[in-house]
Amino acid sequence: MPLILNEAEVADLLDMGSTLDAVEAALRAQAEGRATNRARRRVMMPGSGLNFMAAGFPESGLSGIKVYSVSRGGARFYTMLFDAESGELLCIMQSDKLGQMRTGAASGVSVRHLARPDASTLGMYGSGWQAESQLEAIAAVRDLSRVIVYSRREESRKEFAARMSERLGMEVETTANADEPAAQDIVVTITSSREPVLLGEWLRPGTHVIAAGSNFLSKSEIDPETVRRASFVCVDSREELGLEAGDLLRPLESGAIFPEAVYELGQVIAGQVPGRRGPEDITLFASQGLALEDIAAARVVYDRAVAQDMGRDIEF
């Protein structure tokens, strides 16, 4: 009988440290051919849409699928875990919080492996809910001396700064100058914008850039100059090229970068490609999110729920 977990239970069971480690292990396994991921597919209907993505991670003993609907009433996220050997449905969990955490964790993992070792300042574009886990994950892997946030609405960025300053016990600054976050060691875009919020001309040598807000070909948070200036470009999965990586579409179409020059973050983790070669390099991680990352985080939740005898069993 599968276990049922709601959002509150998932949030109680999942922490950023464990999510970072789980996502990193899953991306390494993907690069080494020990895990399988299938990109998101979308069923679009008038006023709503259904999205689904799947992955298999034999070493964890699991396969799984994430399904979410988007409509005028909002978005609803669910992840289902299956026993990789028997095929038994083990768990259904609400997974809005889980998705937020794994998205932040993927960015944190990219900082671990691609940011300069002395990188200590963070500039952020975006102050919404997804921005929270971006900051939390990066703060977990780097000792940050400065965090500065820009977003279109002054009220939103100030509320975000106050909330995250209290939660993380660190000062989070805000700015009305769009180019100021780009002057930091690590730069994150995590917005809903369809047009670039970050211009490559603003970046300093040595920056690590994370473009995490776009997962549609029609959306791009960074301009082509950002991609052109990057010495190293990677994604969660190369399968996303031509499907979801809107941040890379124009540079690929114009020849500013070739598909062969786009790598996977897991390849860096596994030591298959070097990533950053020197302190002056600008590195770029264009994150669209993988089912494999969801399944890795869901495994943490499921194991802890079983250990604590949480959730509700149901019969079909």
Whether residue 88 is found in the same domain as residue 167: no
The pair phi, psi for residue 174, each rounded to 5°, is: -125, 160
Please tell me the number of Cα atoms within 13 Å of 110 on its side-chain side.
Answer: 32
**What percent of the chain lies above the pLDDT cut of 70?**
95
Whether residue 124 is found in the same domain as residue 198: yes
For residues 214 and 227, is the Cβ–Cβ distance under 8 A? no
Please tell me the number of Cα atoms within 13 Å of 289 on its side-chain side.
Answer: 23
d(CA 311, CA 91): 9
Short-list 113, 120, 134, CA closest to 190:
134
Whether residue 82 is found in the same domain as residue 155: no
**Domain ranges, residue 304:** 3-99+292-313
Give, in order, the Cα–Cα distances in Å from 24 to each of 55, 103, 172, 268.
15, 12, 27, 11
Whether residue 58 is found in the same domain as residue 165: no
Whether residue 132 is found in the same domain as residue 227: yes
**Whole-prediction pTM:** 0.94
pLDDT exceeds 80 at position 311: no
Whether residue 296 is found in the same domain as residue 156: no
> CATH code at 34?
3.30.1780.10
The pair of structure tokens assigned to 180 is: 């100021």
pLDDT tens per residue across span 241-261: 766 666 787 887 877 788 899
Short-list 122, 143, 111, 120, CA closest to 269:
111
User: Comparing 217 with 123, which gets the higher pLDDT?
Assistant: 123
Cβ atoms < 10 Å from Cβ of 125? 27
Whether residue 277 is found in the same domain as residue 306: no
Whether residue 134 is found in the same domain as residue 281: yes
Q: How many structural domains is the chain composed of?
A: 2
Whether residue 74 is found in the same domain as residue 149: no
For residues 302 and 81, is the Cβ–Cβ distance under 8 A? yes
Region 258-287 average pLDDT: 96
pLDDT tens per residue across span 290-299: 999 999 999 9
> CATH code at 116?
3.40.50.720
Unique residue bearing structure tokens 């549609």: 216
pLDDT tens per residue across span 84-113: 999 999 999 999 999 999 999 999 999 999
The pair phi, psi for residue 38, each rounded to 5°, is: -120, 130
User: pLDDT category, 316, cuts 50, 70, 90?
Assistant: very low
Concatenated DSSP letters of the chain: --EEE-HHHHHHH--HHHHHHHHHHHHHHHHTTS-EEEEEEEEEETTEEEEEEEEEEGGGTEEEEEEEEEETTEEEEEEEEEETTT--EEEEEE-HHHHHHHHHHHHHHHHHHHS-TT--EEEEE--SHHHHHHHHHHHHHS--SEEEEE-S-HHHHHHHHHHHHHHHTS--EE-S-TTSGGGSSEEEE----SS-SB-GGGPPTT-EEEE-S--STT--SB-HHHHHH-SEEEES-GGGTTTT-HHHHHHHHHTSS-GGGEEEHHHHHTTSS----STT--EEEE----HHHHHHHHHHHHHHHHHTT-SEE---
Whether residue 201 is found in the same domain as residue 91: no
pLDDT exceeds 90 at position 310: no
pLDDT tens per residue across span 12-62: 999 999 999 999 999 999 999 999 999 888 898 898 999 999 999 988 899
Whether residue 217 is found in the same domain as residue 279: yes
Whether residue 230 is found in the same domain as residue 303: no
